[in-house]
Structure 1
């Protein structure tokens, strides 16, 4: 029988049975004497059968029981079968075949063929084969396959990597642990993102060989990859310390564990570790308590922090400057600047003198509280005690001056600081640049940018973001995009904030289509939109009256199970309320409550406004009652409902919205209200008002006068 007839005959039998995936053994048996390896490979690679992996699998299994031994022991047929199996996601079948073959492959013929194949092998095949060798208890052969993937620059699956690492460290030889460390390093370089389990495996290997410093170093590296220690991590280290050769951990080791738990917010577990120290007659020291106190202030609040301070005092552990600084830091963060000042006084009374950190924290606290005079007094006191203020102190004061629009004083401050030897950084200039943009002094901001570069200060992505944000704020979106291109040319990688700023800039100018075009372009360059991106685009559509497109975007997000938040819903609710579509607003509230998103005043206020406008007073009062129950401020349909510290932006935006909608009477009413409250509007808002009134042939003298000022 000719080869073509054999292939055609077997293929025909298999095609007849491909619906249920079975094979007719009796019909196939007649072809056994004519089977050769090339013929088997031709059948397994037949195009009409490759789309039916179950049929191919049944035929391969039939071969394993009926074909001559040379055919059964050849790895070539297996490697021909695996690609279609993997293509159709039959991973478990592929791995099972590999494990079965490896267990009987005494000469490692399959391994040799995988390392030196006749044609390139797909990544899923190598990845699955690597996992199969690990499963078969041959980690070193699996390691060789990993090395091949490394040479080919193929990124293995994280699960495969973890499986290989586990098998290497569990082999309990120091050489295998060394190999595991190499695999970890190479896997990260290939783009694998390790998880907590990855680190726990490596930590186990280091602890088994009593390399506790290496184990703790791995713990400290975990946050670099966005993962954190868990109970397994700490229990592995403690178990190794306590049980290997009778060796016991010391206070330093426990303090390291306490810090790790506190950094992750696991304060209860950190306190249990502290209690375990006491049981082992290891007395917690000031470092232990400082770590616990700092963590408690951060994660549990000041009550728990002060409780630990009292406990520390009762146990005879004296507070040091770090303890006092922790208290000062958290009081300032909570806005309790007077209490922080009293803490500094008590600190001095106890014989402990404030250091640079204490003064910097207090200066920053006074600046945030708007007490610039107190901040300068503190700087003076700091200098008298021989503690030179650093650039952090300078930047804190600079930020406050810019917030108060005292830009000349701010610039004079950095001039004097430069003369006195301060090394100004990009934060210094970034603060000044944004201050000038917010004061609508874009030209001066750009001069400062050039001055910064002239001083040899190399801007980072964060500083570029400041400049791009400022240009967008000044409605110079094209220049903002130019700066983005400049950033790229310098080899910097824009982050989510960069893209969001430009998308917001386009939307702010009403160029929503360009915003989407830019969004799509950046997605093609690996930009990953976040919830802020989606909300910016949604708000842009709503502002321009493209409500149906906004709902289309929203529905696509929901259908893809992309996360949305209160702001997302508030944006849509506000938009439908402006259109009088109250029933849709009610549906959106029901939907957001179903997602455990709690409505706030920005949810209720547009509804109350719309209900009042529609004369549905009783319903409006019910919603006001709901708002009162949340403990938030009630602001009725007064157009200043969203006014906060950024009132100029809010008023400017609302007036622009009304002008876009052709509601010039309401825009003028809001303009007059802003005048009464002393709110300064963006010049572009005045231009939009003037444009609106020109269209209606109304007097523009008042607006024009304001524009000239």
Structure 2
């Protein structure tokens, strides 16, 4: 068998010179490509691996492979032939650097395959040291899932990785963004123990962090017990601080206090990190006095609060509107020679915009500049947010220009704020312009901003544009949520396009978006308002099948739907069925059923239901009485209506706009003299209550729906029309006055107390004169 000829010394020298050059030029080797075989390359690389920069070594291997005529060079195979020599001489750092350089360019994971499935004729058996080093390299390259597979190979071959490798892998898995990475970390941890690796306190701290991330606090505390009693490890500050931070973030105050007590019992004195976690936790929960006491106790225990401590306390005070106290605390901080930083000022500026005059916020901005503190992106975004909130969009744009002049590019927060601002200002065109500008810069709206635009489009009944935005957003890679679909579904129902709404509902479910009870309620409400209550009940059943729970609003919506359709019997059947399933009727339930009965002319049944409801001690309100008083007046049963008014008075429930409108409307239709006299007495007795409404604009239903501006317009209209009604009544033009009143009633505008009294007295006098003429 012929042996391979010895390497050409000149070629070996050329390869060596090229690799050790500060700027390797592999083109110098091109004339010798046919001679660049593994037999020639390997000895050179083995002699140079400790001196050649890893990137240059990896680049050479890849260049040689891509240019070799015979394609006989395999970089991963050559690499695995080189590394054992380095590891044998304990050059672990150099070996890991070479691996990291190669893994970064190994998109097909060829090296990983050789490590898992070697040895072969061209690849030696990977040693424990190589596998150990490879795990660290794959973790460093952010491939913990590949590192785990190498760990499993070590476990199968009963090779024990070193503790540092284990801790590195566990940390990577705990922090990796995957739904199952923490459970995988638990499996690796258990395998580590079975392999006989002795864990350190750092190992346990890593796992405790993982348990806390999953809110498995009992498991985290159990691990402390295990580390002490099974492995003789003493928990340290990191152990306790990790769990303490998780407790405070979850609002588990009692558990946090117990943990601090246990920490002290173990002889561990809280450190600055412990105090800062606690201060932050108390501030987040609104326990500002407790946080302040902690800061005082820090100093007493020889631990001086740092800027981080004070900034957290400032944040707590500002978030609860205590700006003056925050400014005072800033002064105390500066007396301790702690200079306010940009975080301090941003917190105070944001607080002033929210709770104080904007002028104070801008004064703080100027103070920052005077002190030589540069505004950062957050400072600019806070100001832009305030301008947008005040609908001062021109000033918001000027603030963005200033932001750019100061070297900060508008980010996602900036653009999302602008889009929200333009939507609330009713300028959808500009909102879309900003959205397109974001897209050109490679930035994405967050889903909240996207939903704001969808809501605005639906509010303007631009449903086609809204659906196009929904579709295009999905194509652009936005993660839509149920609010996105729910907003448009509600828009279609409001526009009386129930079929389109249901199509979108099906589309949402096909996309794998699981609806919550809130979205189900949107669909159920839309179907009921579309007089498709039976179909709404089908959705309710679907909700129950999905292990979701309907609330009182869900059931009341369906009851209202049946009553609107005149299906009062079905409404009661549904009510009784839901009561069997733990539905607890409330005052809204009662009012819906009473209105349904009265609407269908079943007044006696309504009065009976009212009596039964009261006998059970259940709550009633003004709407309850208004419904019955209106129906009693329509049937001329004024004495019973008055009894209910008296009962209202006893319950401290003041008659409102609707109560008196019902009585006035009934009065206008009276012709019988005896009835007129009866009502005259009734009106005098009502006046004795002294609670006839004045400018009855406090109707909760309307106030919740109207803007402040429209409320002011209604108040102005009420005053003007009240004066007009009083003028007509003084001229005995009661018919004209009543005509205006009825128009106002339809528009939902109330009138003044004097107008009510003038109308009542005028109608009574008019009916009396009509009855005398008829006699």
TM, length-normalised to structure 2? 0.55
Please give the alpha-carbon distance, in whole angstroms, between the structure 1 residues aligned to 2:192 and 2:533: 64
1:251 matched to which residue of 2?
201
Please give the alpha-carbon distance, in whole angstroms, between the structure 2 residues aligned to 1:406 and 1:457: 27
Shift of 1:319: 1.8
1:322 matched to which residue of 2?
273
Shift of 1:369: 1.9
Shift of 1:476: 1.8
Cα pair 2:447 2:480 within 8 Å, conserved: yes
Asked if 1:275 corresponds to 2:225, the answer is yes
Shift of 1:514: 0.8
Please give the alpha-carbon distance, in whole angstroms, between the structure 2 residues aligned to 1:400 and 1:229: 39
1:262 matched to which residue of 2?
212
* Structure 1 pair 281–390 and aligned structure 2 pair: CA distance change class (3 A): same
* Per-residue deviation, residues 122-178 of structure 1 (Å, max 9, x unmatched): xxxxxxxxxxxxxxxxxxxxxxxxx9xx99x8x89xxx9998875469965555676
Q: How does 1:89-488 map to 2 (within 5 A)?
A: 167=117, 174-175=129-130, 198=146, 200-204=148-152, 208=159, 210=161, 212-222=163-173, 223-227=175-179, 229-230=181-182, 232-234=184-186, 236-237=188-189, 240=192, 248-279=198-229, 280-299=231-250, 301-404=252-355, 406-488=357-439
Please give the alpha-carbon distance, in whole angstroms, between the structure 1 residues aligned to 2:476 and 2:622: 41
Please give the alpha-carbon distance, in whole angstroms, between the structure 2 residues aligned to 1:627 and 1:389: 59
2:496 matched to which residue of 1?
545
Please give the alpha-carbon distance, in whole angstroms, between the structure 2 residues aligned to 1:629 and 1:259: 42
* Structure 1 pair 683–497 and aligned structure 2 pair: CA distance change class (3 A): same
Please give the alpha-carbon distance, in whole angstroms, between the structure 1 residues aligned to 2:213 and 2:585: 32
Cα pair 1:600 1:632 within 8 Å, conserved: no
Please give the alpha-carbon distance, in whole angstroms, between the structure 1 residues aligned to 2:392 and 2:580: 44
* Per-residue deviation, residues 316-349 of structure 1 (Å, max 9, x unmatched): 2222232232222222222333333344344444
Cα pair 1:604 1:623 within 8 Å, conserved: no
Cα pair 1:289 1:308 within 8 Å, conserved: yes
Cα pair 2:135 2:148 within 8 Å, conserved: no
Equivalent position to 2:524, from 573, 590, 597: 573
* Structure 1 pair 561–350 and aligned structure 2 pair: CA distance change class (3 A): same
Any idea what SS the aligned residue of 1:225 has?
coil
Q: How does 1:546-625 map to 2 (within 5 A)?
A: 546-558=497-509, 562-600=513-551, 602-603=553-554, 606-607=557-558
Task: Indicate the larger mover: 417-426 or 200-209.
Answer: 200-209
1:96 matched to which residue of 2?
none
* Per-residue deviation, residues 269-295 of structure 1 (Å, max 9, x unmatched): 322332222123222122222222222
Shift of 1:461: 1.9
* Structure 1 pair 166–529 and aligned structure 2 pair: CA distance change class (3 A): farther
Please give the alpha-carbon distance, in whole angstroms, between the structure 1 residues aligned to 2:587 and 2:415: 37
Cα pair 1:407 1:436 within 8 Å, conserved: no
Please give the alpha-carbon distance, in whole angstroms, between the structure 1 residues aligned to 2:583 and 2:382: 40
Cα pair 2:272 2:305 within 8 Å, conserved: yes
Please give the alpha-carbon distance, in whole angstroms, between the structure 1 residues aligned to 2:300 and 2:184: 45
Please give the alpha-carbon distance, in whole angstroms, between the structure 1 residues aligned to 2:421 and 2:477: 25
Shift of 1:609: 6.0
Any idea what SS the aligned residue of 1:513 has?
helix
Shift of 1:441: 2.0
Please give the alpha-carbon distance, in whole angstroms, between the structure 2 residues aligned to 1:258 and 1:452: 42
Shift of 1:550: 0.8
Cα pair 2:422 2:431 within 8 Å, conserved: yes
Cα pair 1:500 1:532 within 8 Å, conserved: yes
Please give the alpha-carbon distance, in whole angstroms, between the structure 2 residues aligned to 1:534 and 1:326: 39
Cα pair 2:244 2:259 within 8 Å, conserved: yes
Q: How does 1:452-531 map to 2 (within 5 A)?
A: 452-497=403-448, 499-531=450-482
Cα pair 1:337 1:369 within 8 Å, conserved: no
Please give the alpha-carbon distance, in whole angstroms, between the structure 2 residues aligned to 1:630 and 1:362: 43
2:37 matched to which residue of 1?
none
Cα pair 2:247 2:253 within 8 Å, conserved: yes
* Structure 1 pair 236–425 and aligned structure 2 pair: CA distance change class (3 A): same
Please give the alpha-carbon distance, in whole angstroms, between the structure 1 residues aligned to 2:460 and 2:516: 25
List alignment gaps of at least 5 residues for structure 2. Answer: 1-68, 70-101, 120-124, 593-620, 624-694, 718-739, 750-775
Shift of 1:513: 0.6
Any idea what SS the aligned residue of 1:506 has?
helix
* Per-residue deviation, residues 70-105 of structure 1 (Å, max 9, x unmatched): xxxxxxxxxxxxxxxxxxxxxxxxxxxxxxxxxxxx
CA RMSD, Structure 1 to Structure 2 (Å): 4.9
2:645 matched to which residue of 1?
none
Asked if 1:536 corresponds to 2:487, the answer is yes
Cα pair 2:211 2:219 within 8 Å, conserved: yes
Cα pair 2:138 2:147 within 8 Å, conserved: no
* Structure 1 pair 236–179 and aligned structure 2 pair: CA distance change class (3 A): closer
Cα pair 1:427 1:463 within 8 Å, conserved: no
Cα pair 2:167 2:202 within 8 Å, conserved: no
* Structure 1 pair 238–565 and aligned structure 2 pair: CA distance change class (3 A): closer
* Structure 1 pair 631–426 and aligned structure 2 pair: CA distance change class (3 A): farther
List alignment gaps of at least 5 residues for structure 1. Answer: 1-115, 117-146, 189-193, 641-667, 691-695, 704-709
Please give the alpha-carbon distance, in whole angstroms, between the structure 2 residues aligned to 1:558 and 1:179: 44
2:766 matched to which residue of 1?
none
Please give the alpha-carbon distance, in whole angstroms, between the structure 1 residues aligned to 2:191 and 2:318: 48
* Per-residue deviation, residues 620-657 of structure 1 (Å, max 9, x unmatched): 998998999789997988999xxxxxxxxxxxxxxxxx
**Count of equivalent residues:** 512
Cα pair 2:248 2:282 within 8 Å, conserved: no
Cα pair 2:135 2:169 within 8 Å, conserved: no
Please give the alpha-carbon distance, in whole angstroms, between the structure 1 residues aligned to 2:115 and 2:483: 38
